[in-house]
Structure formats: C-alpha cells, structure tokens
Structure 1
C-alpha cells in the first residue's frame, strides 16, 4: 500500500512505524474472514481492511469524524486478522496509533468521555477496585442484573506455598484479578510449587498498562510499565528469578511489549527489553516442565473428564501461543472437546464489554453456544476478562485452566 503521510506525523516514531505497517498491506481481504465485527455487521469499515484505509486517510491528512472514531472503537483489537494475514501486517499496533491520533482530533463527549475517564482512573488502581468490588458483593442481591453480572462471587484463594525452591518466578497480580479471582494466582503458585518452582508476587507492581493503552492513554500505559519494572528490577538484577509469569493472557501481551512501549525512554529501554524477554505465560512455564507434571499426576485417578477450552485472543493471536495450554491439559488427563470457530473473540476485550455492550453480548452468546454444543460441563480459559465475561451468562462454570489443573494435582497428592 503506497502512503504519503502528513507533516504532523511523518517524521515521528509513530508515523514511521505506521508507514512501515501500511506498506505491508496488499489489500487481499483475507483478514475480513476472521474479523468478529465484520462477521456481525457486514460493513467493510468494520473490518481490518476498512479500518486500515480509515487510519491511512487520517495519517495522510484527512480530518477524522465521529464516524471514523466509531468504526475504530468497534474493533476488539483481538488481532485474529494478524494470524490470518499472509503479509505480516501488525494491525494491533497500527490501530493503537490510529485511535490515539483520532482521539486527539475528535474529542470524546458526554457519557462516553465520562466512562472512559472513570475506567482509566479507577480500574487500574487495585486497592480502589478491590474496595469497590467488596462493597458490590455486600449488596449484590439488590443490584440490577446487568450490574450484578459484573460482580462475581469470590472464591477462596486457598493456600499459597511459602518460597522453598531454588527456582523462583514472579507473578503479576494485576489490577482486577486480585479482587475478582484471587484463586487464580494462588492455584498457579501451588501448581508450580509441586513441580519445583516457587512463585512470588512483588509489592509495588500493579496494572500492566493494557487498559490505559487501549483507551488511548499511551503515557499512562508507559507509567504503568515503568512502575512494574521498578518493582521487579531488584530481583531481576540480583538474578533471583527465572521468569515473570502471567496468569492473565491479556497482561502477557502488554508486558511482552514493554520493550517496544519504552524503546524511546533512555532510562528504561534496556530494562524494559529485559523484562519483556523474561515474560512467560503460565502455560509456557508448565508446558516446559512436562515430565515433572506427568510424574506428579501418576497417582491421579483415571481421566480428568471432559473440558471445553476457550483460547483468549490475547493468547492465540496476541502471544501466538496456540496449542500450548491444550497440550498441558491433555497431558493432565483432560479430554478437550472440539470448539467451533475457536479463533473468534468472546467479546470481552478488556473494557469493550462496557463500551460496546450490544456487540459484546452477541459475541459472548455465540462463543458460549460454540463452547457448549458438544455437552461440555466445564469451560476453561486463560484470561480474567474472558472468564468474568463468559461465566455470568454460562450454564456451566467457567474458570481458569490452572485452577482445574490444581484440582487435578490435589487429587493425585
């Protein structure tokens, strides 16, 4: 695709990156076949190719409108188009640049502006979010149905093993997961403990920055990244840890991108690249210990039963980790049921379920139908956003796969 970027962005790093991405696109349209919003709406401008044209026009000097912004807002940033693209177009980065430019030229107004401000100011603050979630649970029975489903019942976290192994890793607590599902990181700690790795959380680390990044607050996302790097760096510098473990695949995509996010920050660029290189999804960590896992499971009774696995977009398209979790679950004795259109997004996509509720709910209904059409009595996923989006509307429990594996290991003990 030929480009002639406008003066305001041509010589910036964002402009140079966007130009390189745009020039990779050959207009083939393969991406539209795997785009969830194009499938729902049938509008070229609600598919990747159409959005690429919109972004190109804006970067070449056309004035964006609220209609331009709407089409970009409707994108889930699921990145299924990247998996499909034969030319390697990095659409996720391009749409971040495009949204950021458009947001500077088309100011948010009214309820939309207020909601986005509240999400950026409130959700990334784990203590504040946790206090609100606790208050919500106290009055959950009196909440309207739409709000009630956003306040899941708490599951006890259970025992977190004290560090006892020479091998250690850091877990990111994140912003919403400690309040919504503390059982996930605790289960990960128990699983890793059984195979010889101690998992710890570092005080001072918090939101990964993905929420602010996708709400066009790029400087806020960089501030989140710097805070996490500062919290983790002493342990990294002393050589005490071998990995930074992500139990939320959405956080994993963001932290793996720290090197790119802070590439122009002289004080943080090298450390950010080191953190990105150390980042591992919990599935990768467990899969690498296959023999130890199988050895621990030798006494587990029979099959672990049937399970439908929902691979989050951030796992299969963002991190390109297709089949890793599935191999772990199969090795643990679970029978994975087929899932139709497994590449499609469930509609959670961070704040998307709040900002685009109608499209989000349609995608959720389609995903749950696909996950349960072969009679699944349990659904597993790998991201807190997907889990809390799917579970309230599901007739069967939706939990993180590491929790099911933790139960399987407990049965073998």
Structure 2
C-alpha cells in the first residue's frame, strides 16, 4: 500500500511505525473472513481492511468524523486479523495509533466522555474498584440485569501459601481480578507451591496499563508500566525467574512494555528485560507437565469446553498449551466451533459497545454449550466474567481445576 503521511505525524516514531505497517497491507481481504464485527455487521468499514483505509486517510491529512471514530471504536482489538494476515500486518498497533489520532480531533459526546473517564479512573485503581465491587456484590440480587452482568458473585480465595522456596517468580496481581475473582491468583500460588516454586506479589505493582492504553490515554499507560517496572525490578535483580501472568489480557500488555517504552532513556532497557521475563501461566507449567500428570492421574476426568482468549491465541500467539496440560492430567478438553472468534468481552468493550458485545457472547456460548461440557474454562478475567453473565454453567480459570485436583489428591 502506497502512503503519503501528513506533516503532523510524518516525522514522529508513531508515524514511522504506522507507515511501515500500512505499506505491508496488500488489500487481500483475508482478514475480513475472521473479523468478528465484520461477521456481525457485514460492513467493509467494520472490518480490518476498511479500518486500515480509514486510518490511512486520517494519517494522510483527511479530517476524521464521528463516523470514522465509530468504525474504529467498534473494533474489538482481538487481533484475529493478525493471525490470518499472510503479510504480517501488525493491525493492533496501527489501530491504537489511529484511534489516538482520531480521539484528538473528534470530541466524544459528554455521556461517552464521562463513561470513558470513569472506566480509566476507576478500574485501574484497586483501592477504588475493590470496595465498589464489594458493595455491588452485597446488593447484587437487587441490581438491574445489565449491572448484575458486570458483578460476579463473591468468591473466597482460600489460603495463600507461605512457604519459601529456592525457585521464585513474580506474579502480577492485577487491578480488577483480585476483587472479581480472587481465587485465580491464590489457586495459581497454591499450584506453584506444590511444585516448589514461590510466587511473589510486589505490593506496589498494579494495573498493567491496558485499560488506559486502549482508551487512548497512552501516556498514563506508560506511567502504569513504569510503576510496575519499579515495583518488580528489585526482585528481578534478586533472581526472580519470571513474571507470571494469570490474565492473558495483562500478559499481552506487559509483553509489549519493551515497545511501549522504547524511547524512554531511563526505562527502555529495563522494559526490554521485563518483556523477556513475562510469561503466561501456560508457558511456564509445561516444564512441570510430567510431575503434574503423575500427581493428577485419575483426579481430573470431567469434560470442559476451552475458550482461548483472543489475547492468548492472537495477541500472544499461544495455542495448544492449556489443552495439552489439561489433557495430560486426564481432562476431556473440547474446542468449540469458531474457537478463533472473540467472545465480545475485549476489556471495556462490553461497556462501550454492549449490543455487539452481547451478540458475540451469545454466539460464543451457543458454540461452547454445544460441546456438552460440564464446565467452561478460559484464561482471562474479562472473558470469564462476560461468559458467566450469559450461562448457568460454571465458567472458571483453567488453573482452578488444577488447584482443585491437587488439593483433593
């Protein structure tokens, strides 16, 4: 694709990056076949190829409109198109650049601006979000359906292991997960403890930055990244082997810190090291596969439907690892039809684009339930909460199954 970027962005780092991405696109249209919003709406401008054209026009100087903004905001950033693209177009980075430029030129309505400000100020702050969630759970039976969908039932985390081990790894606690589903990280810590690995939560680490970044506040997201790096760095210097991610949405963001802070003279090298150390849970546990198989033989016989989050299968390009781990332990793992498509959660998308989000959720659940599985499992708190709001079947993080089995053993 030929480009001729406007002066306002031509000589910037983001401009150079966008230009390189645009030039890779060959207009083939393979991406439209796997784009969830194109599947629902059938509009070229609600598919990756159409959005690429819109971004190109804006970066070449055409004034964006509210319609431009709408088509870009309807994108889930699921990055399914990246998996499909034969030319290696990094669409996710391009759409983040395009959205930011458009948001600086097209003002949101007052209501939309208020909603977005509330999301980026409330969700990343645990000290605000946790009591708000606790209050919501207390009055959950009285909440209207739309709000109840966002408030999972209160959950007990169980005990956090206190034993010290020679092998140590860091664990990102996250911002919303501890309040919404505290058992996920506690279960992970118990599983690692059983494998003689100590997980450490750095108290000053917080939101990974994804919420603010995808709401176009890129500088605030960089501040989130810097804070986490500062919190983790003493442990990295002290020999922590890895930074474990139990939410794939956080994992894909932290793995991008090296790119996010590449121009920061103070943090660039540290960010690169953090990126190297960051691993999804499913990337670490395979080294313990045989030990787990021995301990769990005969303990895990249920059938589960596995929903691979987009941030895992497309963002991090990790496929097959969770299924393999569970199958080795005896679980009957079923992949549903259209397993490559997004469930509609996509971070704050379910709040900002509810109609599309719930259409995708219902489509995904119909496919998951068609497997006949007793339980649905996933690897991201957003997907788990979103799917649970539409079904009576339990929706859990896959590590909770491993924890249950180890404890029963």
TM bucket (normalised to shorter chain) is: over 0.9
Query: What is the CA-CA distance between 1:295 and the residue it aligns to?
Result: 2.6
Query: What is the CA-CA distance between 1:52 and the residue it aligns to?
Result: 0.2
Corresponding residue of 2:262:
263
Is 1:108 the equivalent of 2:105?
A: no
Q: Give CA-to-partner distance per residue, 1:349-385, whole Å, 9 cap, x none.
A: 0000000000000000000001010211100000000
Corresponding residue of 2:74:
74
SS at match of 1:112: helix
Query: What is the CA-CA distance between 1:238 and the residue it aligns to?
Result: 2.0
- Aligned partners of 1:331 and 1:408: how far apart in 2? 13
Corresponding residue of 1:34:
34
Q: Give CA-to-partner distance per residue, 1:205-257, whole Å, 9 cap, x none.
A: 00000000100000010000000000000111122x10000000000000000
- Aligned partners of 1:338 and 1:173: how far apart in 2? 28
Query: What is the CA-CA distance between 1:296 and the residue it aligns to?
Result: 2.2
8 Å Cα contact 2:124/2:211 also seen in 1: yes
8 Å Cα contact 2:32/2:49 also seen in 1: yes
Corresponding residue of 1:289:
288
- Aligned partners of 2:125 and 2:267: how far apart in 1? 22
Query: What is the CA-CA distance between 1:72 and the residue it aligns to?
Result: 0.1
Corresponding residue of 1:250:
249
Corresponding residue of 1:157:
157
Query: What is the CA-CA distance between 1:405 and the residue it aligns to?
Result: 1.2
8 Å Cα contact 1:163/1:199 also seen in 2: no
8 Å Cα contact 1:258/1:276 also seen in 2: yes
- Aligned partners of 2:336 and 2:407: how far apart in 1? 28
Q: Give CA-to-partner distance per residue, 1:271-298, whole Å, 9 cap, x none.
A: 0010010000011111122122223224
1:84–1:40 distance in 2 versus 1, CA, 3 Å: same
TM-score by length of 1: 0.98
Query: What is the CA-CA distance between 1:154 and the residue it aligns to?
Result: 1.6
Q: Give CA-to-partner distance per residue, 1:99-135, whole Å, 9 cap, x none.
A: 0000000011221010001111111001110010111
- Aligned partners of 1:405 and 1:310: how far apart in 2? 16
8 Å Cα contact 2:37/2:47 also seen in 1: yes
Coordinate RMSD, CA, aligned: 0.9
Q: Which runs of 5+ in 2 are unaligned?
A: none
TM-score by length of 2: 0.99
SS at match of 1:105: coil
8 Å Cα contact 2:174/2:207 also seen in 1: yes
